[in-house]
Structure 1
Amino acid sequence: MSNTEPVTGAVPLSAPYYGASLSIAFSRFWRKYATFSGRASRSEYWWWVLISVVVAAIFFIIGNLAGGIYGPPTAAGSLTMGPGYGIYVALSVIWGIAVLVPGLALTWRRLHDTNRSGALYFLGLIPIVGPIILLVFVLIPQNPEGARFDR
């Protein structure tokens, strides 16, 4: 398999793909499964975020169609788990395990594209403010100096 995308004016897999379409971003996400070096464009990153949100919504719908995620409330008013809850959790856990490493790698490469160390990903572990800082970092446009993270 070649190291380029099968399109005219191909962008090497080792370079960020600015203006990537949804299908290209999806393909590159899986082809760069555990690649922490290099960079990822904003389009690559945000198309994958959209795909992840859609998949989570589909799992939620499947769980509700399979009998509901939430059952009737107890006499005390607390929620109970419905029959679809197990299906929803099983699908979500399998998906979460499958995308854990490539999702981390994609965010790492996106930080590289803004000329920041991928280790800043762990700022997201700081309660409340950490995820906001990380969000700002992935929203920032590319910085050409981020090429230092390329191989």
Structure 2
Amino acid sequence: MRDNLDLPCYGASFGRAVKRYVLKFGFFEGRASRSEYWWVALLNAVIYILCFAMMAVGGLNLFDRSSIGVPDASAPWLLMVLAYYLLTFFPNWSLATRRLHDINADESQLSSGFPGYSLLGMMSLARKPSDPAGARYDSEWVKKASKSEEH
């Protein structure tokens, strides 16, 4: 079954949501369903928690109160967290924008203070159900296709 990336995928599984996240890297146009957004949010949270846990374990084992800086055993994990953040910054931003479109909200709510926009604020917006009026954010191709189906 071929996945139409131009439309939101309601009820997406974990694998499908992650696949769509990767394939739609940097696409700010269109919409993303709640399941698409939250599966990726869960993946991101798990990766960050694991990396920070490994940093903490490495820091506890080699922590020297007389030295200043990151303990040697924590440095690789810190680099992994930074690399992951940099690699996923724009895909996460585009996914959040598409999620806002699905609830018929403007992306200015996200970009006005991004990344300073409160995590709780985005979580509150992302949990809202889809709004059919959000279709106005679909790509021109989708709009033309839906109009031709009506005739």
**TM value normalised by structure 2:** 0.79
1:79 deviation in Å?
8.4
1:113 aligns with 2:102: yes
Question: Per chain length, whose mean CA-contact separation is higher, i.e. which structure has more relative contact order (CA < 8 Å, sep 6+)?
Answer: 2
1:28 deviation in Å?
0.4
1:104 aligns with 2:96: no
**Residue 140 to residue 12, structure 1, CA distance change in 2 (3 Å):** same
Q: 1:40 touches 1:110 (CA, 8 Å); kept in 2?
A: yes
Alignment correspondent of 1:72? 63
1:54 aligns with 2:51: no
- Give the % identical residues: 29
135, 138, 144: which is aligned to 2:123?
Answer: 135
Q: 2:102 touches 2:134 (CA, 8 Å); kept in 1?
A: yes
Q: 2:31 touches 2:102 (CA, 8 Å); kept in 1?
A: yes
Cα distance in 1 for residues equivalent to 2:108 and 2:102: 13
Which runs of no fewer than 5 residues in structure 1 stay unpaired? 1-6
Cα distance in 2 for residues equivalent to 1:80 and 1:86: 10
Alignment correspondent of 1:3? none
**AA paired with 1:69?**
G
Q: 1:18 touches 1:43 (CA, 8 Å); kept in 2?
A: yes
Number of matched residues?
138
Q: 2:54 touches 2:74 (CA, 8 Å); kept in 1?
A: no
Q: 2:101 touches 2:107 (CA, 8 Å); kept in 1?
A: yes
Alignment correspondent of 2:33? 41
**AA paired with 2:110?**
Y
1:64 deviation in Å?
4.9
| Structure 1 stretches of 4+ moved >6 Å | none
**TM value normalised by structure 1:** 0.79
- In the TM superposition, what whole-angstrom CA distance separates every residue of 1:5-32 from its partner, at most 9, and x where no partner exists? xx3xx54100000000000001000100
